[in-house]
Chain A
Amino acid sequence: MGLTMLIPGIVLIIVFMLIPFFFSIWLSMHVEIVGSTVPVRSVGWMFYRHLFSDPIFRGIFLKSLENNGIFALVVVPVQTGLAMFLAILVNRHGAFVKFCRTTFFLPVVFPMVLTSLIWKAILAPGPQGMLNAFLHAVTFGHFAPQYWLGNIHLALPSIMLLSIWQGTGFQMVIFLAGLQGIPHTHYEAALIDGAKKWHLFRDVTLPGLRNTTIFVVMVTTIFSLRVFDQIYLLTQGGPINATSSVMYLAVSQAYVANNVGQGAAISVVLCFVILLMSLIQRQVLRERVD
């Protein structure tokens, strides 16, 4: 019977994806302590109320949400724009261009742990730090060394910077595939009409990349909502919650503070935000077809 082919894969995704998804809703309404025999107690919506009305916790949660929002508002357009720009630049032949394409894609195979390590050194405080030394040199000594990851105003932008470095190549390759899917007859038709370079971009390239762009924007937005590794490794959410993210808060509640219910409540909120955004994307894509 051929249907047995289906079973292992489907059972695995049900057990390790679907069940945890529903289980997180249950967990978020109960108090439970990992690895203890203390009986589980039902608490209704308490953990959700904490998120929005607990005087102390509310501040941290809203700050984390705001950080995710700022992260998305900056990283999504910058990374998408840069990726599209680089894709257009490398959409040609030649050994040098090919080398550049490899270079831009290379950070994608760098684990975030490693990216964090390299950038921790680049962003090191004091005149010894690479970025500080570089900025000092190019401004002929006018730039004062900064504590990039320890400054309340610079920490989040620093995290964004290294995230963009690591992620742009991935989007660039997706754009490159999108560019190569635009029929060249479209360009020829525009050229016959006497279109200038900028018009070619505006009237042929940009519309041709529409669906690719929506896809990339969605992927990058979801990525912005789940950012965790670099924050845990480099700033632990600090200084004074300046880099705390929703995922960082969820993990530090569930894993560090052993408050699984609170962490689960945050995960549920995150899940619903992501599902809602995916629905919006589907809607936007569908409009094009009609």
Chain B
Amino acid sequence: MTTDNPPVATRRRRRGVDRTPWGTYALLAVFMVIFLFPVYYLFVGSFESPSQTLDGLRAAIPSSLTLANYHSLSQTFFSSTITGSLRGFYTVSTLVSALVVAGGLIVNSLAGYALARMQFRGRRFLLLLVIVLVIIPFEAIAVPLYYMLNGLRNTLIVQALPFVGSAFSIYLFYTFFLNLPPQLEEAARIDGAGPWRTFVQIILPNAKPAFASVAILSFIQIWSSYLWPLMMTSQPNVYPLSIAIGNLIKQQSTPNYGEMFAFGVLLVVPMAVFFVVFQRWFIRSVASLGVKG
């Protein structure tokens, strides 16, 4: 990994060759406005009355703000058993994400470690299998999975199950462990530690970056997932947040954008907080993807 190096531009600037021209700042500013505007609109719109949210350019600069959308959301969604409750959607999304991220970290790191460090028959075949499965996107196997797991419809477990074991995560762990110096484990082996103890005591403390990357990437994926819960849930008590919002988007003939925006803010806030706190790790985990190839 080379991402820890300072950017090229700095080194050149230090030599007095390169200076950031104002044109670059101007371009950056333009793109920043384009990229930030939808986010800004979401947050501002969630504090506007229904007539304000969809009111041409005036919606971007509201004359007054209100908490009415959040208030009505809480009224509709905290208690209702027919439409499901907001607390329920949050609980489902959180439990499913926790199961996928935590379970995935355990099983995929173990498999990646065994593939990287152990010699056994069929190792090359399994490695090839993992690489081929990395290529196949979930969407392409969604239909047969839907048929296979139909008996588990409307359960929490079925929303998480297909995503716990992940060829992609196994591959990321595998490449990481491959690059760890083998001397780390030799000392442990001399002390007579078995592979499990070696893994827990020696490997885990040295693999924090890999665990962080996999955790973040799988969290983004599972928290955002829509197609699978769409096929697997038809009862509001097992809807994750994404399905609840999706239904709101599709059902309303005269959309109340203010209320939908408020709901959207509630969906993105956990992710946004997580992102702001762990921003370095987010960017590093995505950056590490390109290095393979």
Q: A: which residues have CB within 8 A of B?
A: 2-3, 5-6, 8-21, 23-24, 27, 32, 34-35, 86, 89-94, 96-97, 99-122, 124, 127-130, 132-134, 136-137, 165, 169-170, 173-182, 184, 187, 191, 211-212, 214-216, 222, 226, 228-229, 232-234, 247, 250-251, 254-255, 260, 263-264, 266-267, 270-271, 274-275, 278, 285
Contact = CB atoms under 8 A, between A and B. Distances in A.
Given A27-B144, A105-B282, A187-B12, A275 B111 contact: no
Given A21-B141, A251-B143, A117 B261 contact: yes
B211 interface: no
Interface in B189-228: 194-196, 199, 220, 223-224, 226-227
Contacts, number: 318
B110 A9 contact: yes
17 contacts: A2-B196, A3-B118, A6-B110, A9-B111, A9-B170, A16-B161, A18-B133, A89-B28, A104-B31, A111-B271, A114-B245, A130-B59, A134-B57, A177-B2, A226-B139, A226-B140, A229-B227
A228 B245 contact: no
Nearest to B118: A2
Nearest to B129: A18
A266 to B, nearest CB: 8
Contacts of A93: 6-7, 9-10, 13
A13 B130 contact: yes
Interface residues of B, number: 108
Nearest to B272: A109
Contacts of B267: 111, 113-114
Given A111-B267, A260-B146, 4 more contacts: A23-B148, A89-B24, A130-B56, A232-B226
B264 interface: yes
A44 to B, nearest CB: 18
Contacts of A215: 289-290, 292-293
B180 interface: no
A100 B275 contact: no
Given A109-B268, A216-B290, A184 B8 contact: yes
Contacts of A232: 226-227, 230
Nearest to B216: A109
Given A99-B32, A215-B290, A17 B41 contact: no
B140 A270 contact: yes
A144 B56 CA distance: 13
Contacts of A263: 143
A170 to B, nearest CB: 6
A40 to B, nearest CB: 11
B11 interface: yes
A111 B57 contact: no
B290 A260 contact: no
B69 to A, nearest CB: 13
Given A5-B113, A105-B283, A267-B141, A274 B135 contact: yes
A235 B238 CA distance: 25
B76 interface: no
A258 B92 CA distance: 27
Nearest to A223: B137
Given A13-B170, A18-B129, A18-B133, A3 B120 contact: yes
A203 to B, nearest CB: 15
A184 B288 CA distance: 20
